[in-house]
């Protein structure tokens, strides 16, 4: 039988384990488990690191059982790759193996006051003060400010740092450390694509930067070792796959770029998940953006291979807006229902929805923005709202695509897409209409997991997956052509931009006291203890 390669895909809303045929890239089996998010206070988003690991083990075991039922021998699995939600920040105790606080998710806004004070201290109050080294603006999005918050607010973290027991990592580091033995010799590492999202990593030297660590006052000894995206980091210690090498590691958006085979300079893809992420391969030189995009390390496929870089447009809320309509408003019962609701009206009827739940990311980087729905009339109903939510995803993509075209000087002539939301055909057609270019969706939607599997299978010492252009599998796809005239598209887009302006400067740093006269600087309640209820605000 052909060799198999597996991938752990640990996303914001679910964990999945997929097994691929290394010759055909066909998915042989998979299992998925949803992950709970908790929102202990307004703007806070957390996940339980132990639940994350439990979901990884459950997905691996269930998938292995399914393979056995198909009479596929799991000893054919030659390597495992890891891909993960990026920026989400964890600190754990290397002696007990226990997390010292919940994982602070990339969407979390508790560090807004820290970010504002850092920007105010920067020369010229410039949010891009560190961009020459990091490729990133100072923002709540990245790991360094989340880590700083943990060091400032969680006693257990502070104590563990003082007694040299603390380990910091993004989700990839936590998974690899646990799978390779945890407190009994687990490997503490990350790859360049994940490290480049921390604000502690120099994207030119490809290592932790002492000056950046001093700037955020982060002790370098708690950081993981930075490795390439494709090499053997260690071997699985337990589970049905004990002894299998873990040999691929990529942040989810980098993994999707690899899985979409965007290896040539100028190739790009847009992934529609919890957020929306447009990445364009810029080759072996980092290109700095003048239009609000990030410069990030895309991948480094081998110890001795050069790093490749990407320009990235990051949108915080895409699929998350559907989850919000389902969980918070009860407008839809399942994520798939939104397409039916929106299709029933075929228009938002002048209603615009800016889902700035975590502020605005690219191209604005405006943490003070909050979500708004405007253009409401007595005629507006839940169908129009569903349509406006889908349009919001498309408008946000149009904004980052425009920025990318301006930065690169070479407009994209079509957009390659992937991610969970691409199964929504109405959304894909809307996207083509709003961009005025074709949207191309591969029939095999598992591109993020595929990218991690490719990196793992191609690693030195594994060598079961060839990344040479002649060996890359042929991928079939479906193309959505624009169906409305560009004037209508431009009119709708200009109204959207007007709505975005209305969403800005809504929420600034909280005052020092709440109605009880108690300082309200978002200090942590002890872990596991419910925080006091937030003071209710009067209607604006």
Q: What is the pLDDT of residues 54-91, one digit of tens each?
A: 999 999 999 999 999 999 999 999 999 999 999 999 99
Report d(CA 480, CA 439) in Å as an integer.
5
Report d(CA 209, CA 536) in Å as an integer.
42
Kindly write down the DSSP assignment for every residue of 73-108, as one continuous string: -GGGEEEEEEEE-SS-EEEEETTT--BSS-EE-TT-
Q: Quick one: pLDDT band at residue 534, thresholds 50, 70, 90?
A: very low
pLDDT of residue 509: 60
Kindly write down the DSSP assignment for every residue of 389-427, as one continuous string: HHHHHHHHHHHHHHHHHHHHSS--SSEEEESGGGG-HHH
Q: Residue 374: beta bridge partners?
A: 352
Average pLDDT in the 263-279 region? 90
Tell me: pLDDT of 535 over 70: no
Report d(CA 163, CA 317) in Å as an integer.
39
Instruction: Please give the share of the chain, as a percent, with pLDDT higher than 90.
Output: 67
Average pLDDT in the 438-455 region? 91
Tell me: pLDDT of 529 over 50: no
Q: Residue 5: beta bridge partners?
A: 20, 79
pLDDT of residue 122: 87
- Judge whether 255 and 451 are in contact, CB under 8 Å: yes
Kindly write down the DSSP assignment for every residue of 24-72, as one continuous string: T--EEEEEEEE---B-SSTT--EE-HHHHHHHHHHHHHHHHHHHHHTT-
Sign of CA dihedral 104, 108, 111, 115: positive
pLDDT of residue 508: 67
pLDDT of residue 444: 82
What residues contact 536, with CB distance under 8 A and at least 6 apart?
none
Report d(CA 351, CA 334) in Å as an integer.
22
pLDDT of residue 270: 93
Residue 515 phi, psi (nearest 5): -65, -20
**Three-point CA angle 57, 62, 64, nearest 5°:** 95
Measuring CA to CA, how many Å separate 404 from each of 3, 222, 290, 399?
39, 35, 9, 9
Among candidates 206, 313, 198, 185, which has minimal Cα distance to 251? 198
Residue 247 phi, psi (nearest 5): -135, 15
Predicted TM-score (pTM) of this structure? 0.86
Tell me: pLDDT of 23 over 70: yes
pLDDT of residue 151: 93
Sign of CA dihedral 276, 282, 285, 288: negative
**CATH dotted code for 314-411+487-503:** 3.30.420.40
Average pLDDT in the 313-335 region? 88
Per-residue pLDDT of 356-385, as tens digits, reads 988 888 888 888 899 999 999 999 999 999
Sign of CA dihedral 121, 124, 130, 131: positive
Among candidates 60, 51, 156, 46, which has minimal Cα distance to 100? 156
* Residue listed under structure tokens 């919940």: 102
pLDDT of residue 43: 87
Q: Quick one: pLDDT band at residue 530, thresholds 50, 70, 90?
A: very low
Hey, how many other C-beta atoms are within 10 angstroms of the C-beta on 436? 14
Domain boundaries, the chain: 314-411+487-503
């Amino acid at each position: 039988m052909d060799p198999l390669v597996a991938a752990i895909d640990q996303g914001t809303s679910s964990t999945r384990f997929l097994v691929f045929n290394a010759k055909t890239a066909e998915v042989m089996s998979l299992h998925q488990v949803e992950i709970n998010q908790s929102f202990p206070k307004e703007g806070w988003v957390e996940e339980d690191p132990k639940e994350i690991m439990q979901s990884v083990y459950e997905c691996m075991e269930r998938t292995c059982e399914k393979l056995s039922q198909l009479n596929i021998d799991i000893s054919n699995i030659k390597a495992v790759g890891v891909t993960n939600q990026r920026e989400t920040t964890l600190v754990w105790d290397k002696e007990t193996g226990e997390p010292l606080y919940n994982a602070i998710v990339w969407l979390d806004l508790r560090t807004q006051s820290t970010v504002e004070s850092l920007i105010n201290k920067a020369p010229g109050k410039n949010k891009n003060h560190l961009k020459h080294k990091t490729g990133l603006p100072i923002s709540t999005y990245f790991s360094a400010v989340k880590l700083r918050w943990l060091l400032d607010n969680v006693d257990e973290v502070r104590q563990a740092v003082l007694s040299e027991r603390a380990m910091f990592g993004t989700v990839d580091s936590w998974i690899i450390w646990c799978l390779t033995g945890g407190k009994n010799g687990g490997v503490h590492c990350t790859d360049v694509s994940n490290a480049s999202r921390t604000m502690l990593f120099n994207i030119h030297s490809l290592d932790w930067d002492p000056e950046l660590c001093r700037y955020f006052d982060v002790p370098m000894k708690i950081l993981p070792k930075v490795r390439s995206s494709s090499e053997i980091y260690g071997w699985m210690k337990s589970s049905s796959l004990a002894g299998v090498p873990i040999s691929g590691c990529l942040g989810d958006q980098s993994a999707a770029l690899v899985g979409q085979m965007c290896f040539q300079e100028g190739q790009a893809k847009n992934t529609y998940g919890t957020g929306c992420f447009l990445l364009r391969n810029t080759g072996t030189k980092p290109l700095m953006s003048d239009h609000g995009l990030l410069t990030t390390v895309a991948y480094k496929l081998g110890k001795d291979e050069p790093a490749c870089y990407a320009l990235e447009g990051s949108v915080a809320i895409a699929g998350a807006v559907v989850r919000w309509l389902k969980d918070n408003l009860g407008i839809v019962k399942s994520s798939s229902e939104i397409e039916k609701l929106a299709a029933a009206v075929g228009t938002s009827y002048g209603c615009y929805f800016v889902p700035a739940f975590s502020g605005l990311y690219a191209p604005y980087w405006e943490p003070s923005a909050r979500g708004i729905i405007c253009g409401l009339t007595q005629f507006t109903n839940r169908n129009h709202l569903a349509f406006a939510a889908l349009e919001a995803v498309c408008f946000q993509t149009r904004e980052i695509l425009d920025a990318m075209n301006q930065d690169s000087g070479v407009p994209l002539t079509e957009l390659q897409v992937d991610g969970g939301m691409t199964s929504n055909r109405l959304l894909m057609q809307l996207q083509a209409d709003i961009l005025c270019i074709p949207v191309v969706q591969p029939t095999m939607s598992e591109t993020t997991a595929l990218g991690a599997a490719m990196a793992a299978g191609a690693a030195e010492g594994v060598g079961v997956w060839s990344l040479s252009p002649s060996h890359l599998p042929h991928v079939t796809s479906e193309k959505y052509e624009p169906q409305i005239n560009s004037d209508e598209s431009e009119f709708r887009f200009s109204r959207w931009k007007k709505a975005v302006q209305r969403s800005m400067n809504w929420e600034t740093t909280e005052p020092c006291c709440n109605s009880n006269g108690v300082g309200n600087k978002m200090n942590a309640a002890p872990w596991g203890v419910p925080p006091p209820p937030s003071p209710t605000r009067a209607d604006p």
